[in-house]
Amino acid sequence: MNKKNKGKETIRVLLLILCGFMIGLQVYMANANALVGEKLPMPFGYGAAVVLSGSMEPELSKGDLIFVKEDTFDVGDVVVYQDVNYLVVHRVISINEDTVVTKGDANNTDDGEIPMSVVKGKVTFWIPALGYFVNFMKTGVGTALTLIAAFLLIEIPRRREAKKDEQEREKIIAEIERLRKEI
């Protein structure tokens, strides 16, 4: 295998790993949500979510992908908490003994007192607009496209190899026929 083919094979394997990771993550997230009602599972103390509103603008915008860490937080930190059926991403404006008060940067009023137990963690960093892609990948179409991509990454090289093998077999048969005629 030459350098060019090794590079293509490496890229193909990395893309297959990415597809597998994306499918596994989708299954994990769906099960966490359906089985235990977790909108933001935090395996190993980390999670990711998509900002769904403009309440934190200009710092965070709708469609940003945020990364959350289970960690202590202070006034001024942006945290994520689960409010019944959805996640809220807001800034901490005060901390009491067992509760915290948060407010969206673009909101006029605070969220009231929230039990500390519903706070998932604080936002450590974010990637602007990547959440749109993540949300698309959670749809049936996104999952189907990921499965199709994985299938093609496996099937296309297999067919190319089979075609090469068939051409090689035909060359060998032609050489055998040529040698028979010589005898």
Domain boundaries, the chain: 3-25+139-182, 39-128
Please report the pLDDT score of residue 59 as a whole number: 93
Please report the pLDDT score of residue 58 as a whole number: 93
Burial pattern 103-138, b for ≥16 Cβ within 10 A else e, equals bbeeeeeebeebeeeebbbbbeebeeeebeebeebb
Is a pLDDT exceeding 80 seen at residue 25?
A: no
Please report the pLDDT score of residue 10 as a whole number: 85
Sorting pLDDT into bands at 50, 70 and 90, what band is 32? low
Measure the CA dihedral 12/17/21/24, to 10°: 100
Sorted by sequence, the CB contacts under 8 Å of residue 12 that are 6+ apart come out as 153, 157
Instruction: Give the pLDDT confidence of 46-82 residue by residue, as tens digits.
Output: 888 889 899 999 999 999 999 999 989 999 999 999 8
pTM for the predicted model, two decimal places: 0.68
Is domain 39-128 annotated with CATH 3.40.50.12780?
no
Sorted by sequence, the CB contacts under 8 Å of residue 131 that are 6+ apart come out as 49, 50, 51, 63, 64, 65, 66
- 53 an active-site residue? yes
Please report the pLDDT score of residue 162 as a whole number: 87
Q: Which amino acid is at 24?
A: G
Task: Sort strands 99-103 and 86-95 into parallel, antiparallel or unpaired.
Answer: antiparallel
Structure tokens at 64: 């940003």
Longest CA pairwise span in the chain (Å)? 98
CB 122 within 8 A of CB 68: yes
Q: How far apart are CA 17 and CA 12, in angstroms?
A: 9
Catalytic pick among 53, 61, 94, 117: 53
